[in-house]
Structure 1
């Protein structure tokens, strides 16, 4: 994952535009950043009064939770299933769009999977 530009650089770009009268594109060339980056920094400064970056990364809550999780637990205990089948059932019956990996992680974490034995 990329790292945010330093606050010093952000402040110098904003200062060049707001106090020295440079255009946003000229400031971008002068400080070696992309024009769209300089434009966004100036917009952020005008809106919030700060050039500090937003949070990068963080926790993303799982899609399968609450009522959907309860339904999926019950469904897995009722009859045999395939993960792709569960993805399709969640989409058609519950209106929840999830991918194969999300369903696999949920089933694995809940220890709902079983091996077929002959």
Structure 2
């Protein structure tokens, strides 16, 4: 994802709108930015009075809490050959929260559980 425009360019764009009274399409061409950037910057500035970039993204809490982590550890102690899909299915059945394999993998990493299946070799 590209970085937000600097505060310097934002100030220049806003000055062009307020002081120079140029049209937004002309400003976009002048500063080599998109029209939508100029338009949304102007709207944001009018609503909040701020020129800094908005915060991008946010924190999403993990689906596996402490109780879930303890339950997963117990499942793996009893049956260490459970796959990620098996763990996801059990978690959904037990806690009513469905998740994908990637989420379960991240949860195991947070719990410092190495989760690597040994391949079965035939001689």
Q: TM-score, normalised by structure 1?
A: 0.72
Q: Could you say if the C-alpha distance between residues 114 and 45 of structure 1 is closer, same or farther in structure 2, counting changes exceeding 3 Å? A: closer
Could you say what secondary structure the match of 1:110 adopts? coil
Is 106-115 or 21-30 further displaced after alignment? 106-115
Kept in 1: contact 2:87–2:104 (CA 8 A): yes
The residue aligned with 1:11 is 11
Kept in 1: contact 2:62–2:107 (CA 8 A): no
Is 98-107 or 87-96 further displaced after alignment? 87-96
Please state how far the C-alpha of 1:56 moved relative to its aligned partner: 4.8
How far apart, CA to CA, are the structure 2 residues paired with 1:106 and 1:93? 16
Query: Runs of at least 4 residues of structure 1 off by over 4 A?
Result: 56-61, 112-116
The residue aligned with 2:77 is 77
The residue aligned with 2:65 is 65
The residue aligned with 1:26 is 26
Q: Flag structure 1 segments of 5+ consecutive residues without an equivalent.
A: none
Number of residue pairs matched by the alignment: 117
The residue aligned with 2:2 is 2
Q: Flag structure 2 segments of 5+ consecutive residues without an equivalent.
A: none
Q: TM-score, normalised by structure 2?
A: 0.70
The residue aligned with 1:37 is 37
Kept in 2: contact 1:77–1:112 (CA 8 A): no
Is 29-38 or 56-65 further displaced after alignment? 56-65
Is 32-41 or 14-23 further displaced after alignment? 14-23
